Amino acid sequence: MYHSSTPSAAYPSTSISGIHGQLLEVTVVSGTKLKNTEFISRQDPYVCLEYGSTKFRTRTCTDGGKNPTFQEKFTFTLIEGLRELKLVVWNSNTINHDDFIGTGNVRLQKVLSEGYDDSSWPLQSKSGRSAGEIRLILHYANAKKPAGSHASVAPPYHPQAGPYSTPPPSHVASYPFPGSGYPAPSPYTSYPPNSAAPYSPNSAAPYSNPQSSAYPAPYPPPSAYPPSPYPPPPQSSPYHPPGPFPGIYRPPPY
């Protein structure tokens, strides 16, 4: 049985629900004092993460040896009721099968309750011996933090007596009331009372042109010709046949 770097008593098991479908970010930071599976050259470790049916693998840290560095982030979709994440560390071989270094379980209680967890998780070999540690940074954005977890509580507000907490002295002149500077309203209305006779268009005086009353009517201009009689006298039409021409004519027969 191995022990985590974070004691479980510090984070008692509490009921956390409503996480199904939410996102959990896992950053694989580094490994420390990993079991060495190579005897001639330096080993090339990599980390596999498993949560439910979701699996991720880091890149291979070539010549990482016992203290490799990864710095890779992965995102898991949380499953209701599943509170552990499994990690397995392998040594990559180009000729033979990869060598098993160690495995461990990551408990998600702290990150689900507080939203953040930066811890190193121990590994076990096949024989149950210590195989080093893997540092992970877990982040859960939808955590419901308790009231006194990390939030700073502001001190209660106590109002202090200032220079304006008491009424001003009586010798200080106060401003006049804004309405006192305006004149009092007049008792007379601006419009005639309703008892006045209504307007009638027939009773209005007829319109007279001021020019017609000020000046006499002009006389017609005098004419240079006498007025022509009416009706005009008959005139000889130029289309009547001319009279008999002077000369000798034969007497008419009887």
Residue of 120, 117, 107 lying closest to 149 (CA atoms): 117
Share of the chain above pLDDT 70, in %: 51
pTM over cut 0.75: no
Instruction: Give the domains, in start order, of the chain with CATH numbers.
Output: 22-139 (2.60.40.150)
Contact of 92 with 44, CB cutoff 8 Å: yes
- Residue pLDDT, tens place only, 109-118: 999 999 999 9
- Residue pLDDT, tens place only, 172-228: 444 444 444 555 555 555 555 555 555 555 555 455 554 444 555 555 555 555 666
Contact of 61 with 44, CB cutoff 8 Å: yes
For the chain, what is the mean pLDDT?
73
Share of the chain above pLDDT 90, in %: 46
Contact of 2 with 130, CB cutoff 8 Å: yes
- For 74, how many CA atoms within 13 A lie in the half-sphere containing its CB? 21
> Can you give the length of the chain in residues?
254
Question: Which residue type, as a one-letter code, is found at position 182?
Answer: Y
Please state, in angstroms and as integers, the Cα–Cα distance from residue 63 to each residue in 38, 40, 68, 87, following that order: 11, 12, 8, 21
Residue at token pair 């201009």:
221
Residue at token pair 């098991």:
13
Most confident by average pLDDT, 121-130, 136-145, 166-175, 181-190: 121-130
Residue of 131, 159, 153, 122 lying closest to 43 (CA atoms): 131
How far, in Å, CA of 64 to CA of 47, rounded?
A: 12
3-state secondary structure of 124: strand
pLDDT of residue 148: 47
